[in-house]
Structure 1
């Protein structure tokens, strides 16, 4: 892609870049980011940079399939669609630099011409950069600095020792030279050199090694000119060593940033999670909770290796006035109409969660704004390629359809034959991969692939020795398996033992053993865990806090060792407004909600709809075990013994008197899913009753058949939505879930040692 302005090619403006990004509240960060974009101002300017096509002489590796990265252009597209259709940026005010256009000179010129020379006090400026980051050793100063790697950032050599990257000091000065304090910078890249480009089944966004070189005299002169320009800004006060506004970074410190792969597209985990959540938020949404969900989404895939963070001069500012961050009412959505031809409609679906989009069937969407339309059009997705869906007009007035209109999910259609894809780790020898493929073949609904080549859900590989990537980055976080109990750590696995890992190579509990074994033996041993992981995948496909019209709210509270609010979620498209929540400000502002082992928890569930709703709680603890919790008090039970919340009522799960939900070890991530429906969970209850003693009908219980339970849950939700669409319009081998009839809220938190 070429620059839009010829002047960029003649203008010199210093811009090297990087970031020392501290760990702070991503929830707080997201609040400021959302509000800074949504507030009414005279102008909103954006500079979006994405680079996939790095030559080997720049990226210090052999690019796979011709590209060092695969998802950076998708990141730019995600951000551009969000800014244009959600936050009202004018297309002419968004400048995009990708691949060969993203040279260091062009980046510097773009900053100067598009942002520095145009932005006025009070304007909003957004800068997004996706690509490779790096650490660079300044040989003449004997120190390390961070940098953003432009497409022409040639590695320094003995003959040509000059550094061609965009260095941290220059990037900070370029941002400080912009005449507004309302600057949001999104950086989906990392800086830590880890000696490789693939981590598990994820691609690392940093140079594998730290080059050594020197800053040129010309670069130092550019920095000095920028300092003089910043000093002359009359209305903007910048701290000399801080980035202005907010810096939203995919990672921080000695951690990695990665991109993921889905069917038909790749994207930065951070960018997709961030932009997708911003599509569904409203001014009334508790944004701290929303962005805790963002970081939870990242960690569900990358594990603890990626640590999104916030820095910048405004990062810790409290009590911002409404005139500064006053959001405007903007419709939330799941996608945008790209084109219309007769009854064929092309949709951009970047507002749908990536895991759901990967399994999107013949789902139904309608227009966000359908006032004045007698019969609102109903669109059915017929096929999908990447983020683009091809739909047909199923019913309603097709004449009202036009490009640029926002669409929302109405009925989610999911295939019944969703399977689990297992990536075979790159560290396996060829004969090990052959044996693994043969061993996985007879397991129903499980498909093996080679890591790094195709999308996957889980990784199969060998236990790594103590000198692992994680150990080298953070002594507190080990790639070797976590102990099965906080008090009795399991023996360290031998390098010859096999097990299951997250895509970011965090060990999945109870899948590694201390003895060496054959590949086939290991695959047979972990088959029960594969069924649990498939159940978890299916459960995640029901999460719809952004699209559900069922008015519910859930708040996670800690009762001991101290009382505090941890997380809160509510549906964003329910009719009317939820009751004013006076305790939201008490929610913790941590980047990841952490709970010590032994904490006593409860959920406070509110039904603010005009009809009763049934509910169910399923969870996965940090030991990899699935559990269910039912209310113990008869007041929350319907006559048929199903858990029920009346309109306007609140239910505590479990009740304070029960005191039986204590966080168990080991340290790791835990997930909880609150599922609400207008109809009782009859088949789910039957599946749970099959293994539950009658005396413990309403207590916390282990779920030993999670796949059966989750499949029964999907069937219950399907039955609850049976009146929403003629059966002839949906494939027989699909579940159809109406957003008016169900809601699933997901909570992710980190368990730590007490």
Structure 2
């Protein structure tokens, strides 16, 4: 684009904003001056829009920009002066495109790294050249303009954006689109980022001209474009967290990029990000956007896209659809990482400011798992690369204040230093929070609040006012019935009220399920694959007649094999099966009738003990049961008992230890399974004792089966992990009302898969 035209287009929007061109150029000196810097550079353009004229406001788009900016600076070595952010009214169509062409197009050189991010509404619009179909588009801050005859919309076509990305002179381009395009007829739960399409709307002439111009140019780049959803009808949602709102996809993605470093296959990262989305109440499946719709999921093994550091497990590959072919945004199976972190070790956050001569340290904690952040307590500890420990003194949202535990180092603290979790402090009085839908009448909300108040450890809030775990609302198809929903609007099955049933009766029906859901919330708080210091690896496999087929693998990322560790290789995965599964879903698919097992490798120098808990599709609790062999097998009234599962150092154990009589077989479709594999250096004495209080019949002695007293088990589990910590006496006044968990003593992996 000509410089004159660029200034003209910027001038028009600045006039509306009341900002002079000279003022804009002064504000922009920090990135115009960057033109003189040598290559290779890292450039970013981040867009976030909460406030739209005459459209319901979004809540999390500005936080998305902040999440991305802090990640790029502290984790990937971007200079703040090379990151341009356009937010709210600045993010007009003209301004976004002009900034793209000038900030990215003019400055980027071969081998430079470029990141583009958009958070805001998406929609669909018809082109006069293609009146028979709707096209995806990003909704900008100046949504529309009125003309005498037609409604002109200032959208940026998804196609235009893809062509702009491809026009850049570097292949090291990554874009993140936290938006969606199909607006649901009614929204239940979290806000969605999609506007209803308008068949009368027409694109602005300048947008069509730019699209036409781009189509005539040679487009050398093959960018990685990460989309919030893989299914066109899915909605990109945003959630309310601990004092802030954010896009679910952006938060899950950036949290993963903070904490994890290694990179192997796309399947690993996909399952991590989607696991996190599921725990946040959404069934979103992120995707790798492709122009070539008919050639998806080809040769994806060992794929590792631009935003992934090297070493071990995949860091950034949330997309599930991979295109390959002429004209598409396709990638061969040997694509390597392009955007590497400055430090190959992951972190839970970074030092953002220092006060009082180093006595008070401000932290940015975007690397903590989202479900853990809300309950992250005072006296939690972090370590620096210089081995000093920081003790958490207060926290508000993603920001916290901490103090150095012992000021005996000659190395001064510096802004930007990464911090890693050392001790996790969690309160003991954690409740299950139920949000009441605004679609309920006032008397219905009063009755629901009163009914839920009869349960211990259950509290209620109005949806959107405070963070919540689930939603109580009317069934949209049958408004005279009530039910419990995920925050993404998914109905929890088998617990809905009858037609015309009173609110209180429906709530009473929920009692057993509420206990299970609270239990699952508690064991999810143990997740620490990123921060654990135990050297462990766990693989979920399908057993076959030849060799096991790997479904997914988890391993701690901040530990390394020592020379004394026994190195046992895993069986070669069935890559054809993995590719087939990946082609359809980012969550692995397990066929009905499959025989399953976990293979757990203890690479540490200590024995570890194991517990497996989980939820199936109807949110029924399940557990791994390791049965003792009865001393008198012919005695009919012998009570079945469970035993500890222990893995010696350097050994590998398969679970369940299958034989013809006791095998874990997927016998019926459960659609979705979530399982938490938790390991500790100390025995799970209280957990096993609680498991043995349940009344199991001989017929129920399957290796993985129903968990009868899930809340008691979850509380006993946390107490066992607390007992394994050696730091209780050091943290005065905390142990009585908190669980204290030391990363040197436990590891917790999350696995999710579908059954079809």
* 2:440 counterpart SS class: coil
Match of 2:78 in 1: 89
Aligned pairs for 1:360-399 within 5 A: 360-370=376-386, 376-397=387-408
Shift of 1:424: 1.2
Structure 2 stretches of 5 or more lacking a match?
14-37, 291-322, 630-641
- 1:455 and 2:467 aligned: yes
Asked if the contact 2:389–2:404 (Cα under 8 Å) also holds between the matched residues in 1, the reply is yes
- 1:332 and 2:346 aligned: yes
Match of 2:178 in 1: 188
- 1:42 and 2:40 aligned: yes
- 1:307 and 2:277 aligned: no
Asked if the contact 2:686–2:717 (Cα under 8 Å) also holds between the matched residues in 1, the reply is yes
Match of 1:651 in 2: 653
Asked if the contact 2:383–2:421 (Cα under 8 Å) also holds between the matched residues in 1, the reply is no
Residues 155/557 of structure 1: CA separation in 2 closer, same or farther (3 Å cut): farther
Shift of 1:210: 3.2
1:405-451 deviations in whole A, cap 9, x for unaligned? 11010000000001111011233222211111111112111111122
Asked if the contact 2:383–2:420 (Cα under 8 Å) also holds between the matched residues in 1, the reply is yes
Q: Give, in whole Å, the separation in 2 of the partners of 1:352 and 1:296.
A: 15
Moved more, 276-285 or 114-123: 276-285
Match of 1:669 in 2: 672
Aligned pairs for 1:603-618 within 5 A: 603-618=598-613
Asked if the contact 2:175–2:225 (Cα under 8 Å) also holds between the matched residues in 1, the reply is yes
Match of 1:550 in 2: 534
Match of 1:318 in 2: 332
Aligned pairs for 1:417-456 within 5 A: 417-456=429-468
Match of 1:109 in 2: 98
Aligned pairs for 1:318-717 within 5 A: 318-320=332-334, 330-342=344-356, 343-370=359-386, 376-397=387-408, 400-465=412-477, 495-559=479-543, 564-576=549-561, 583=572, 586=575, 587-588=578-579, 589=582, 590-631=585-626, 641-657=643-659, 658-663=661-666, 665-693=668-696, 699-717=703-721
Moved more, 406-415 or 330-339: 330-339
Q: Give, in whole Å, the separation in 2 of the partners of 1:610 and 1:117.
A: 54
Q: Give, in whole Å, the separation in 1 of the partners of 2:389 and 2:522.
A: 26
Match of 1:733 in 2: 737
Q: Give, in whole Å, the separation in 2 of the partners of 1:285 and 1:222.
A: 39
Q: Give, in whole Å, the separation in 2 of the partners of 1:330 and 1:152.
A: 41
Match of 1:207 in 2: 195
Structure 1 stretches of 5 or more lacking a match?
16-39, 239-243, 371-375, 466-493, 635-639
Q: Give, in whole Å, the separation in 1 of the partners of 2:538 and 2:614.
A: 14
Asked if the contact 2:122–2:181 (Cα under 8 Å) also holds between the matched residues in 1, the reply is yes
Shift of 1:188: 0.4
Q: Give, in whole Å, the separation in 1 of the partners of 2:198 and 2:49.
A: 19
1:86-126 deviations in whole A, cap 9, x for unaligned? 11122222111111211111101111111111111222211
Moved more, 556-565 or 389-398: 556-565
1:478-530 deviations in whole A, cap 9, x for unaligned? xxxxxxxxxxxxxxxx5422221111121113212554411111111101111
Q: Give, in whole Å, the separation in 2 of the partners of 1:321 and 1:251.
A: 22
Q: Give, in whole Å, the separation in 2 of the partners of 1:260 and 1:323.
A: 30
Shift of 1:325: 8.0
Shift of 1:341: 1.5
Asked if the contact 1:413–1:734 (Cα under 8 Å) also holds between the matched residues in 2, the reply is yes
* 1:555 counterpart SS class: strand
Residues 661/515 of structure 1: CA separation in 2 closer, same or farther (3 Å cut): farther
Asked if the contact 2:166–2:223 (Cα under 8 Å) also holds between the matched residues in 1, the reply is no
Asked if the contact 1:87–1:330 (Cα under 8 Å) also holds between the matched residues in 2, the reply is no
- Of 256, 269, 288, the match for 1:277: 256
1:696-750 deviations in whole A, cap 9, x for unaligned? 7883342111000000000000000133661405252100000000011011122
- Of 249, 260, 264, the match for 2:239: 260
Match of 1:168 in 2: 158
Asked if the contact 1:193–1:210 (Cα under 8 Å) also holds between the matched residues in 2, the reply is no
Shift of 1:299: 2.7
Moved more, 657-666 or 403-412: 657-666
- Of 706, 723, 726, the match for 1:722: 726
Residues 458/87 of structure 1: CA separation in 2 closer, same or farther (3 Å cut): same
Q: Give, in whole Å, the separation in 2 of the partners of 1:322 and 1:50.
A: 29
Q: Give, in whole Å, the separation in 2 of the partners of 1:204 and 1:93.
A: 31
Q: Give, in whole Å, the separation in 1 of the partners of 2:441 and 2:161.
A: 43
* 2:419 counterpart SS class: strand
Equivalent pairs counted in the alignment come to 664
Match of 2:632 in 1: none
Q: Give, in whole Å, the separation in 1 of the partners of 2:95 and 2:66.
A: 19
* 1:432 counterpart SS class: helix
Residues 561/670 of structure 1: CA separation in 2 closer, same or farther (3 Å cut): farther
Shift of 1:351: 0.6
Residues 193/13 of structure 1: CA separation in 2 closer, same or farther (3 Å cut): farther
Moved more, 693-702 or 107-116: 693-702
Q: Give, in whole Å, the separation in 2 of the partners of 1:131 and 1:581.
A: 44
Match of 2:754 in 1: 750
Aligned pairs for 1:6-45 within 5 A: 10=8, 42-45=40-43
CA RMSD, aligned part only?
3.0
* 1:152 counterpart SS class: strand
- Of 290, 311, 325, the match for 2:269: 290
* 2:688 counterpart SS class: helix
Q: Give, in whole Å, the separation in 2 of the partners of 1:664 and 1:550.
A: 34
Shift of 1:278: 1.1
Q: Give, in whole Å, the separation in 2 of the partners of 1:329 and 1:633.
A: 47
Shift of 1:155: 6.3
